[in-house]
Structure 1
Amino acid sequence: MDIRGVVEELAEEAERQIRDRTWVLTPDDRAVAAKAAADLHAVVGAPQSQQALSEVERLAHLREALAAVAIALAHVHGRLAWFLGAAATSLTPVLHWRAMPAEPGPTFGAVPPTLQQYTDAEDAIRRLHKTLAGIATA
């Protein structure tokens, strides 16, 4: 399953847990979710703006998004931490992508992603943003 599919499943599970009151949000959950949502939105905006960027810039933005998720994860416990941990794990393929041509020699396993993989990862970040924004206002 691609990054977008994994994040979609995580988002649906989080939304279901909140709706079913399995996950009772705390004020801290809401505050961290609001900050993370804002950070994700700032990094990965509208599809058209991302597609206009170079592959190097797109990959940098995806890595910044992963960093924002990791920073948010460092500030919480319980279900929000579990959700953010799973989201960060789903985004880890971007850590193995390279946007620059390989120089002679090993690349530590880094591979160039396809344009579709960039788009899928960016869409996953947008879905994660939507879910976190929903948590912030729930």
Structure 2
Amino acid sequence: MGMRKIIEDLVEEAERQIRDQAWDLSPTDRTVAAKAAADLHSAVGTPQSQQTLTEVDRLERLREALAALAIALAHVHGRLAWFLGAAATALTPVLHWRALPAGDGPTFGAVQPAPQEYKEAEEAIRRLQRTLASIKTA
């Protein structure tokens, strides 16, 4: 299952829990979600802006998005932490990607992703960003 599908499933579950009032959003949840949404938007902007970047820069921004999730995760507990942790786990393939040629040395298992994989990861992060932004008003 691809990153985008995993994130979509997580988002659907989160939206259902919020709608069914199984997830009682605290003021801290709302604040952290809003900050994470802003940070994700800053890291991975529009599809048009991302496609103008080099692979090195696109990968850097994807890693920035993962860092933003990790920082948000460090500030919450309960359902938001579980949601953010699952989202970060879904995006971990990004940590094994490299944008530079391997040359003659080892790569520590890093692989060059296909252009479509960048796009999929960016779309997954944008979907996650929209959901986190909506949490502040839910």
TM-score range, shorter chain: over 0.9
Identical-residue share of aligned pairs (%): 73
TM-score by length of 1: 0.99
Aligned residue pairs, count: 138
Q: Deviations over 1:71-90 (max 9, x none)?
A: 00000000000000000101
Match of 2:65 in 1: 65
Q: Which ranges in structure 1 are unaligned for 5 or more consecutive residues?
A: none
Match of 2:80 in 1: 80
Q: Which ranges in structure 2 are unaligned for 5 or more consecutive residues?
A: none
Q: Deviations over 1:77-105 (max 9, x none)?
A: 00000000000101100000000000212
CA distance in 1, matches of 2:66, 2:9: 18
Q: Mapping of 1:1-138 within 5 angstroms?
A: 1-138=1-138
Q: What secondary structure sits across from 1:48 in the alignment?
A: helix
TM-score by length of 2: 0.99
Q: Deviations over 1:37-66 (max 9, x none)?
A: 000001111101000100000000000000
Q: What secondary structure sits across from 1:112 in the alignment?
A: coil
Aligned residue type for 1:107: T
CA distance in 1, matches of 2:128, 2:30: 14
Structure 1 residue 106: Cα displacement: 1.4
Aligned residue type for 1:131: T
Cα RMSD for the two superposed structures: 0.5
Q: What secondary structure sits across from 1:137 in the alignment?
A: coil
